Structure 1
Amino acid sequence: MKYFLVIFELNCAYSTQMYFRFLIFVIIFFLVGCRFDSTIKNNNDSTIRALDSIFSISLNNELPDSVRIHSLKIANIKIKNVSNDSLKFKLLLKLAHNNLNLGNVENFGKINLNILNEPYMKLATMNDKALVFEYLGYYYGLKFSPDSSYYFYDNALKSYKKVNNESSEGRVFLNLATILSSIRDYTRSEIYTIKAIEKLQYTNDNRNLYLAYNNLAVISNELNKFDESIEYRKKGLSYLSKLNNVEELILLALNGIGISYQKKGNWLKSIDFFKKAGAKLATSKKLPKILAAINDNLAYSKFKLNQTDELPELFYKALKIRDSLNIKDGQVVSNLHLSEYYLSQKDTLKAIRYGNKAKEIAEEANYSEGLFNSISFLSKIVSPEKGVKYLQKYVKLLDSLQQQEREIREKFTRIAYETDEITKENKVITKKNWWLTIAIIIGCAFFTVIYFYIRQRSKNKELLFNQKQEEANVEIYNLMISEKTKFEEGSIKERNRISEELHDGIVNKLFALRLRLLLLNEGKTKKDMDVREKHLEELQNIEEEIRTVSHELKVELFNVDNSFEKMVKDLVIKRSNLSNFEWNLSFNIHRKWESVANKIKIHCYRTIQEALQNIHKYAQATEVEIRFIEDEQLLLVEIIDNGIGFNPKNKSNGIGLKNIESRILKLNGTIEILSSIGEGTKIIMNIPL
């Protein structure tokens, strides 16, 4: 990254205010610049890849600026389509940085201000929020708006403190210190600079450490502590020795040491450092601003030592460069130096002419310090009448500058105070919110406990109800079995009675009748004997037939093991008569039903009952098949019909199917319902035995 420096300090004591403005620019640019170089992590998304290519175009110095600027406009449009807020945040920062690289300061500030007002700023990490504040502080520093710059840097500092980001704290402390120096609040500036050094001294941030010691040197210079200033400059140079491509900063440091010796009155020593800096520059055309400043400072020191061999040519050489580059503060300083030189040469007209020119340029550029120095100097060389006027202007301007500095200091103090007050209010609000949150959590916990308590009670009641229902079902089943058994017992008794009556009564009577007929057979004609014989055979046949019927009627009470099967069969018969369908019932069971738990038999019976009810109501089936199959420790029950069927996915289960599922789940079994339109329905139930 290329950094453009304008060092107004080089122009000696007359350019103090403009120097501080420049120093703000230099320090902030150095501090923030490195933060912009973070690359965006590769993303497979086509938009991100396209943006990477666009950013590469914007950074290509070989392309025309118009092309690079247009590429950033396209990037801005594409970034709006990025849905990930975190990624959009980083892309916008890179877009802002690339705008700054192209000198588009307004877009740089606008993008950062937009980020500040976006909803996702609230969701950003504390470091990211601090970074946006820091960038805005930098932007307002470039706009020479120290109060706004101070405000945002102060917010950045507070944010970095919350996450213990010490290196960033040190960087922001240095920015704040530089702003305070620009309004001549040297005490606070020195404190902040020392804090910056404390934060940075254990890092490898040698550039910022150099800038920190450079700021201490400037403060010491302004407080006439020239020896301290020189030591701070030398300390700063020791950090520059660890960096590459810092020729410009080394020249500035050497020039700064020369200025300190100038203010100290050690003109000869100052010339040594100016010449040392000039020797490094030699005939270089890369740094004309620094060359002009060094030439002017060297000429002034020679002038003070009355070494006029290169004067005034050296002054004019510096002024020519400054005129060509339109460096207003430098032009003011050069004209004042020439005015002072010609005054020493007794050429009052030229002295006044150059003094007035310095004053005019300062007024045009709104360069307060240059105007102040110009009026002060002119008041000493013009006529007494004009001198009084210049003195009045001098006093008025001095009062104005002091008032302005006072107002700015008060404003900064107010910003810091209001920020602290807001912080305190936020702490109070946070504390209230904390207590409110605790109250809400306790309330939620309380209602949750009550909810689960009520729910558990409801579950317990439901469980108790189901348990009682199971007991009732078992009792009902037992009653049904008992009732059916009693019915069968009564039926058997009646059949036995009829059998006994047939066997003991009618059969015996027929037997007696047959004997009598045999007796009558004696002594009769053959024809009569044949007739009687025929009747006797018929009577014997009737007897055998009655005996057979009697034996068939007389059976034992049906086996209990067959009672469940008979109940199911009776149920199917009744439903088939009602619904008019053909049926097939099969039992492929190896074990006896009396060994199967009544609970299983009850639910199987009820399930078949419910299924047959659904077939009657909805299926329009003409054939129904029910199978009981024992498979190891499972009882497989299948209910199949050839009805109209239904789509299980599109049709919500009715209460009947839900009851079936509920019963099978109570038995820890599984149920599968297979059906489709026009294909009938098949219910498969697997029940553990």
Structure 2
Amino acid sequence: MSTLLINFSKKASVIFCLNIRILPMLFSFSIMRLFSKILAVCLFLCLNEISAQTKIDIKIDSLWNVYNQTKDPLRKSTTLYNVGREYMSVNIDSAIRILKQVDTEALQLRNDSLQAKSLIGLGLAFSRKSKLDSAKVYYDKAETIVAKSTDTDLKTSLYNNRGIMFFYKSEYDKAREEFERVLAIAKEINNLDDISRSYNNIALCDSYSGNYESALAMHIESAKIAESRKDNLNLARSYNNIGLLYRDLDDYDKSEEYLLKSLKLKEEEGATTDIIGGYLNLGGTLRKIGVTNKDTLKLLEARGYYEKALKKSKEANYGYGENISYPNLALIETAIGNFDKGILYGKIALKNSIDKKDIGNEIVSRVNLGDAYRNNKQYELATEHLMKGYELAVKREDLIVQKEASLMISLLNSDQYNYKTALEYYKTYHDLTDSISSTDVKNKVNELETKYETEKKEKQILIQRAELAEQDLVIQKRNYQLFGTVGTTVIIGIIGLLFYNQQKLKNRQLQKENELKDALLKIETQNKLQEQRLRISRDLHDNIGAQLTFIISSIDNLKYAFKIEDNKLTKKLDSLSDFASGTIYELRDTIWAMNKNQISFEDLQARISNYIDKADIASNNINFHFDVDGSIDESHVLSSIKGMNVYRIIQEAIHNSIKYADASNISVTIKKVASNYVINIKDDGKGFDKATVKLGNGLKNMEKRASEIGGNLDIVSGENKGTEIILNV
């Protein structure tokens, strides 16, 4: 998520930011094996002078006080506009409501300048909500006023924010033209804020066009201006964009370095949308590091940042942040092997992007969802989404998404043994990679960054020398005063106090070190257990799974190679093949449970939903219904044994209904009664009389599983009355 800088007016004391770019860097998961060695590495201590409120909250409160105490209509409306402008960083819906009121009041007051400002602000707000058609309407209204005005503040505000709208549409040439108009005005009147802002925005357009050397040069110039003016928020945005540029060049260490510096400054300033962008961008880089180095810890850290971004976006009603969080969460879940959950998030991301007509996010969502389907062996759906995403990326000339989509399509065709097509798309991927990340481009970018860092360090050294010289003078004066007024007794007392404090500090440090060692020991033990579970699951998958697959292949070869005409033998071979296939499916479910210490209700729900989808596809004459009570806490966790047994009971019940009941409808409902979960599997089939029919192994196994997890299983059935299985656990 790159940062575009927006100005409502040069008179404004606070600069707003809009996080508009999310370009998840896709990657290959087909040969990835996860190694669990999780260490406690994240400890953040946040010490602020302001604890209860951010700087923006305090400013909003102050403006409301001025508004309530003001009686002059024009000044009152102007103050209300400033309130709406500040809300843009914390709650967009509140900003829209306030700015619409300002627009109405400005029209009544016949104040063109204030009305233009409110219209530009509304255009910006709707851009942030991804409602670009509405944003264009407000910018067009503002244009009719600004065209008659000589106010450079209004002109730069309109051009800059309209450029952002074009950026949302991926019309980078038009966006660059608008930002260059702002830069020309800013240079003419020597407005450093707008010059810095324009450099940043033009650089973003250049980076999307592949001109990384020019982009970095402009970001550095913007950072210099921000440093000279001690403008931490603009400096944070420059660091953010430099970090993203290095990520595009696959230099992930430098990307992480700059993004961490950026996030720290953003959190100090308290700008919500900037912080959300920081979480998403840092998550993207950590994900790339995790995949490249096969580092599970980095992948889990990335997921943590994405979850923070999603939570904060929902709190701030920041729709664009939500839209971007879901495809990234889909990527992470796919990366760590949770394909069902990855598909679930991917569907949410795609639906949101289509509903909001966000083509850029739709492209990324389709490619990510397609790759999740590929890993889940659902090749038809994978082909549909990957090809659609690739075609849209080509149409919009988005080279980076084209590159990663072509790699995914190559892997998809390779999985299906279409090696010719796989090779064609891999060549496309290779050519795009060379054009984006050539050694020459990287060397030039690194040279510019080195010059910038060297220049900054030289300035810091000069400042430190001056500060040291000043401190020496102060210390010298204090020493003279101390020696003249304090006797030997006082000095001994001070030394004793210092020694006591030092010893106390050492004791605290020893205590903390012991606590840390205990924590690391616990984590080490957990890691060893997890590694053992993963090793067993890999052995099951690689050895038994491969042997079963070989058996199926051998049976098929026997049938076709020897042209067996004996129907009984053919049926027997088919039965063996079906049994081996079923065993593989059961083995995958067992591996899924073994890879987890705990299974969340959300994981279980996704697994059940996926099984019902497959059953629905296989059974054309049966309608399936799956309903979960909305009051159930999706974050609630079950042990892996309990979760697996619940899943097996539901699976067996559905299997029996399909095989024996001759049903037209099968429904699965889950609800919560008191502290228990009640799971109901019901069909409208022919049923059976429990008094006369002997229960088979399937029903007995279900009762045994329910008993093992401390649950109750009731079977209600009658001839021509269907069958209902109720699990209370």
What is the TM-score when the length of structure 2 is the normalising length? 0.41
Larger Rg, first or second structure (1 or 2): 1
The TM-score, its normalising length taken from structure 1, stands at 0.43
